[in-house]
Amino acid sequence: MLVETDAIVLQTRKYSDSSKIVEIFSKDFGKISVLAKGAYSIKSKFAGCLEPLSIIHISFYKKTETTLYTLKSSELIISLNQIHKTSNTLLCGLVVAEFILYTQNECSDSEKLYKKFAVFLYKINEHSDRANGIAIQFLIFLSDNMGFSVLINQDHYSQKINKLISENDLQKEISSTTFIEFINYFADFFSNHLEKKIYIKSLAFIV
């Protein structure tokens, strides 16, 4: 069955010399994996549409007997060029994309989270100077949306987050050192609640 949806690219990986697997978070089907045949060819119809954090409209063949669907078409909905011009902003986006990739189940209810994720990308595209704080705000929402709010914890970092909110400091830029500490905290937080280890690989590129 051929279906269409809006989606955001989370991650890509090589499938063959000519094709790639694209992990996406879609408005109508949640997290899914699609196979983009010929994506690496020079004249690929997917050129420029499948980079991580791209907001796209896609059509794909959805079948019940597989969880890897064949991508038929994709087109950019909007170009968020500013995200890719600043390394820290790009890394904030990739960090959040990893959290969605590792915390969401395949084909889960998704429209509310999809819309919030898209708004997050718009915000860091427009406000690169405070991308770290915007990313932390999104992760607070993600914990709320999954039913185990980080704000009701009584540990040290939960108290620090509550203090940042009360003092409106998430509207300002947060240092890379503090940001890394919070991301590691959220990784442990989600790991404990989901009973699986979450390691955010993008952090390795933050300096």
CATH code for position 58: 2.40.50.140
Report the mean per-residue pLDDT for the chain: 90
Show the tokens assigned to 5: 């949806």
Same domain, 34 and 65: yes
| Domain end residue (candidates: 45, 78, 111) | 78
Residue 95: CB partners within 8 Å, gap ≥ 6?
135, 183, 200, 202, 203
| Residues 2-14: tens digit of each pLDDT | 999 999 999 999 9
The percentage of the chain sitting over the pLDDT mark of 70, rounded to a whole number, equals 95
Q: Which domain holds residue 147?
A: 82-205
The predicted model gives 116-130 an average pLDDT of: 95
Same domain, 57 and 91: no
Burial of 154 per CB tally in 10 Å (0-12, 13-18, 19+)? exposed
Among the listed residues 163, 80, 181, the one whose alpha carbon sits nearest the alpha carbon of residue 125: 80
pLDDT at 108: 79
168 pLDDT exceeds 70?
Answer: no
How many CB atoms within 10 Å of residue 179?
Answer: 22
For residues 73 and 119, state if they share a domain.
Answer: no
Show which of 78, 110, 139 is a domain's final residue. Answer: 78
Count how many domains the chain has.
2
Give the end of a domain, one of 47, 78, 109: 78
pLDDT at 206: 62
Tell me what pLDDT residue 72 has.
Answer: 96
Count CB-CB contacts under 10 A for residue 139: 23
Residue with tokens 């992760």: 139
Given a cut of 70, whether residue 156 has pLDDT beyond it is: yes
Q: Domain check: are 151 and 105 in the same one?
A: yes
Indicate whether 119 and 199 sit together in one domain. yes
**Same domain, residue pair 102 and 185:** yes
Q: Quick one: 40 and 88 in the same domain?
A: no
Q: Report the candidate in 163, 166, 94, 168 with the shortest Cα–Cα distance to residue 135.
A: 94
110 and 188, same structural domain?
Answer: yes
For 205, the token pair is 């590129």
- Residue 14: helix, strand or coil by DSSP? strand
Q: Are residues 93 and 71 in the same domain?
A: no
Specify whether 117 is located in the same domain as 154: yes
User: Do both 98 and 170 map to the same domain?
Assistant: yes
91 and 33 both lie in a single domain: no
Secondary structure (3-state) at 148: coil
